[in-house]
Amino acid sequence: MAISFSLKGKTALVTGANTGIGQAIAVALAEAGANVAVAGRSEPAETLRLIEETGRKAVSIKADLSSIEPVQRIVDEALKSLGRIDILVNNAGIIRRDDLLRFSEEDWDAVVDTNLKTLFFLSQAAARAMVEGGAMGGSRGKIINVASLLSFQGGIRVPSYAAAKSGVAGVTKAMANELAAEGVQVNAIAPGYISTNNTAALQGDETRNRQILERIPAGRWGRPEDIAGAAVFLASPASDYVTGHVLAVDGGWLAR
């Protein structure tokens, strides 16, 4: 039997796809054949253009993911525009940094609400649509969460981020356990150090950049496309028997 990585005829909803990893994932899904809706606070003009250049349909859904208020509307708008949701990629997230002894409740709640609470309830709403709209037999849908190396490690000065991303790994497994019987696979990608606007300061710090590269067996920073390739696999029929897994794409960082 041929192994298929094609997403032809599929539809995807990607959050936080304005730049970086989210943009690379959205475009890669389109290149693989999917029509794509992107949800976030900013208008992702470049992402929409890149998707449309693949010949696929691109839809923008304006939503502030810092609370669960827009969750059902996001799903409803995606269904209205694309007809169904076959793939959900929960990429949107924020980070707040401060010393542990000074870390505020406001920063804790902001990160946990966006990175974990909204992720869960958007997944819940999308999973309902997948189960209700999917055909019997085979895969009815794929949910891909973006976790982090801090799903495995504690980090420094980012306690709420570490807590939230550890929660993403846990909720990925919990959702997989219940949704597998419904034909929905739930997995997560844990990116390593990826070269994006968000990591520009680290890359520009000569000492820190050297320390990071010395720890990565691959000897380089990751690229957004490295994460996008993993997302296409997890969204495709090739991964129909993969669920509840957190896939580290880190150049070997966790192996050291």
What token pair was written down for 32? Answer: 């693989």
Dihedral, CA of residue 210, residue 215, residue 219 and residue 225, to nearest 10: -100
pLDDT on residue 135: 56
What token pair was written down for 232? Answer: 């296409």
pLDDT per residue as tens digits for the range 95-131: 999 999 999 999 999 999 999 999 999 999 999 999 9
pLDDT on residue 198: 82
pLDDT on residue 96: 95
Residue ranges and CATH numbers for the domains of the chain are: 11-249 (3.40.50.720)
Does this model's pTM top 0.85? My answer is yes
pLDDT on residue 133: 82
pLDDT-derived band at 219, boundaries 50, 70, 90: very high
| Catalytic, out of 38, 79, 85, 161 | 161
Say what percent of the chain tops pLDDT 70: 98
Bridge partners, residue 13, by sequence = 37, 88
Q: Mind giving me the DSSP string for 68-100?
A: STTHHHHHHHHHHHHS---EEEE---------G
- For residue 161, indicate whether it is catalytic: yes
pLDDT per residue as tens digits for the range 148-195: 999 999 999 999 999 999 999 999 999 999 999 999 999 999 999 999
Measured CA to CA, the distance from residue 109 to residue 104 in angstroms comes to 9
Measured CA to CA, the distance from residue 15 to residue 25 in angstroms comes to 10
In this structure, are residues 60 and 81 in contact, taking their beta carbons and an 8 Å threshold?
Answer: no
In this structure, are residues 134 and 151 in contact, taking their beta carbons and an 8 Å threshold?
Answer: no
The stretch 131-146 carries a mean pLDDT of: 83
